[in-house]
Amino acid sequence: MSLLVLDELRLRYGRADDPGSALLSFPSFTLPEGGHLLLRGASGSGKSSLLALMAGLLTPTSGRLTMAGIDPAQLSAAARDAWRGAQLGFVPQRLHLSASLTVRDNLSLPYVAAGLRPDLARITAVLEALGIAGLQSRRPHALSQGQAQRVALARALLRSPRFVLADEPTANLDDEACAATLGLLRQAAEDHRLCLVIASHDARIEQAWGSWSALHRLRLGGSATVDRTGSAGVNGAVGAVSS
Ligand SMILES: Nc1ncnc2c1ncn2[C@@H]1O[C@H](COP(=O)(O)OP(=O)(O)OP(=O)(O)O)[C@@H](O)[C@H]1O
């Protein structure tokens, strides 16, 4: 089964008759089993929007998207929430750790949100794998940026997701922290047999992972994909280049 299929996928923000509305057209694309995806494209090309479609947080205007055979848009709201909790881990650009909670309690939240009892042994095991098991009682303000990023990655990995979606995970990191983060993501992908989907325009990812044969690339095409007039193609080609 293909891990990810995008088929003539489009997303409109706003109403079609609103001159300020934006229509995003995504290239059709298939990610085979065992692959990982680097989503590239300039600011505004639709990377975050595509991640939100993959997470079932937005519904396509037309076309179809499947994640390991599941079309999140076809699920009921409750089934979609359950699917997202069980199958997806998310590493957002801003880490959204709760400042008043310890690391352990931050990592308990995904369980609580799903109505489950926190699995403290699993939390410890994931933190150990990421080399930060000693930080469980700390609050986020007492973590370095790199440690906080590991906690966010741990949170994404806790429930053994099929996919980890990461939005600009290396933005604002210096070269050393960038290399460490990419190392963690790749290690997690290999250890946990999950599919990474990384949205980024950071050229350092290509430098670090250029020879990783499992990595596929999908380029979203900047202004060519965003049509603000409602008449597709006004900027030239609608769509984007995949490689
Ligand atoms: N809620 C919204 N309403 C209207 N337009 C939106 C909305 N969210 C995003 N857009 C538009 O959709 C396009 C794609 O935005 P998106 O955030 O997905 O791009 P991106 O590639 O992730 O950008 P960046 O790299 O800057 O985060 C942009 O033109 C943006 O202005």
* pLDDT digits 0-9 by tens, 171-212: 877 898 888 889 889 988 988 889 999 999 899 999 999 999
Give the confidence band of 225 by pLDDT, cuts at 50, 70, 90: low
Q: Whose CA is nearest to atom 29 of ligand 1?
A: 44
| Spacing, Cα 222 to ligand 1 middle (Å) | 10
For the chain, give the mean pLDDT.
88
Predicted TM-score (pTM) of the model is: 0.87
Give the confidence band of 230 by pLDDT, cuts at 50, 70, 90: very low
Give the confidence band of 222 by pLDDT, cuts at 50, 70, 90: low
Please give the pLDDT value at position 234: 32
Please give the pLDDT value at position 43: 87
Q: Any residues with Cβ below 6 Å from ligand 1, and which?
A: 13-14, 22, 24, 41, 43-49, 226
- Among candidate residues 7, 142, 145, the one with its CA nearest the CA of residue 67: 7
Q: Of ligand 1's atoms, which has the minimum distance to the CA of residue 49?
A: 18
Q: Whose CA is nearest to atom 24 of ligand 1?
A: 43
- Whether the pLDDT of residue 236 is over 60: the answer is no
Pocket probe mutation, ligand 1, options 40, 47, 205, max atoms within 8 Å of Cβ: 47
Q: In this predicted structure, which of 63-77, 131-145, 175-189 has the lowest mean pLDDT?
A: 175-189
Instruction: Give the pLDDT confidence of 10-56 residue by residue, as tens digits.
Output: 999 988 888 888 899 999 999 999 999 999 998 889 999 999 999 99
Q: Whose CA is nearest to atom 16 of ligand 1?
A: 46
